[in-house]
Amino acid sequence: MAAAPAHVSTAPILWAQRKDSLFVTINIPDVDPAKATITLDGQRLTFEGTSGKTAYKTTLEFLHEVDATDTESKYDVKPRCILFHVIKKDKDSEYWPRLLKDKTQVRRPAAITFALAHPPPVDARHASWVRRLAAPIDGTHDPPSLACAAGEEPGQAGLVPLRGRG
């Protein structure tokens, strides 16, 4: 039996947004989806998992409410990262000035990084991912691969709705 990791680290986070949704990337490789715990409620996203011998635990308490029950709120565990598309509760609100309710968490080095220079445009990686989320997963369409997995071959993702997980 393998020993449990002694130290728990905080996973590096990238994020971007559109007026109606958030794009969050947990930037750690080789996470076993069967052993990872991912939960989303109206106010927070929680992740626990391991990469190699390092254990990670991250809780993001969002600045405003998100819609955890929306069928468009999904995640995908990739070989080099975990991607989330989370729908905002108030879809007509202004852009969020930051991701988290707690201003001090943003100031920690390399903990949370805004993926864009300016909020309104969404970078190519997340735009590509949104197209991939909208694509059928029945093998009739081969969408482009995601930029977080450099060199990864295009293919179908095992997208998992966030609601109903616990």
Q: Could you tell me the pTM of the whole model?
A: 0.64
The residue among 138, 24, 35, 87 whose CA lies nearest residue 157 is 138
CATH topology of domain 8-161: Immunoglobulin-like (2.60.40)
pLDDT average, residue stretch 65-81? 91
pLDDT in tens, 2-18: 555 567 888 888 999 99
Q: Residue 9 forms beta bridges with which residues?
A: 56
In 62-125, beta strands by DSSP E: 74-77, 82-87, 112-114
